[in-house]
Structure 1
Amino acid sequence: MELKFYIESGIIESFVLGLASEAEVEELQHMRRLYPELNTEVEFVERRLERAAFDEPVLPPVEIRDRILQKIRWDHNNGGHFGDNNSNYTFINIQPKDGDHITVHRWWKIFFIIFFIMSKVFLFLAIFYYLKYRQSQEQQHSNLLHPRYQQEQVQSRVL
């Protein structure tokens, strides 16, 4: 009887709609572990709400579409700005009438070229110094293994 009362309480609908509090969600999860029938009921409520949403959709007013399109409309008379005259300068201009290509402000091009060149220089330097370090380590290691060097080390310890 407790399960039927719990199902009729509306907590499942609140959970499915995302309106349940954290305590209610934890309680429902606990009840779902105790009563597997609740999983079926949750799925049923989800399907019922989905069907209701698709069967009776509410269309937005036509004015909203016009306002949105007006805000995103490309204004050629405005010097490449979107919407009103107070908008910020755009760095990327999309010009669909010239073949659907994007142009980038020339300072960005210069920045990317400098960045590319600097990254190659740093890569070269990293490889160069890595090889120098490895060479010095190998040389030091070979000196340690050389018998003459070992004798010098023994003699210096004796003195």
Structure 2
Amino acid sequence: MFYYYQEQQLRTQEYIESGILETFVLGAASEQEVKELLFMKAEYPEVNEALQQLEKDIEKLARNLAVEPPSGTWYKIAQEINAVIPHQESSPQVFNRKNDRERPDTEKDKGDQYIEVEGSSSHMRLHKAWRWVFAGVFILGKIFLAFAIYFYLENKHTQQQIQELRTEIRELKNKK
């Protein structure tokens, strides 16, 4: 019996030192590892104690390594949220369905109530795919602009050369 108890303690200690507790606490354990750990935690108090101690240690580590955000960050976040979510000082409206049988008869006669949705934000929201489309159109616009400027300058230079050739031809004709 004593030998069995020592063997169980060795297996439990090996399990604790295997790194599976760390994997579980960091959220990287597989589903099978989680099930196994939960069984071991319920079966062996040493595993439960080691897991609790590890969670405390990681929490301490996170607190010690935490970087405090610059002052005013929470204010900026609140402003962004308030810009996206309009706040109105009105009472909430109730949305009723036609087939709701628990409503009184007076409400059934009113029909469905609609909630007006109006955005007061000055920001435009786009689907992520459209962002790439707009970026592509913007880049193509810059490329076309560069080509237009290049060909404009080339045309101007060519026109200047043609003008110089015409004056040379006139001068040659006048000399004869």
Q: Same fold (TM over 0.5)?
A: no
Could you tell me the TM-score, scaled by structure 2's length? 0.39
Say which structure is richer in strand: 1
Could you tell me the TM-score, scaled by structure 1's length? 0.43
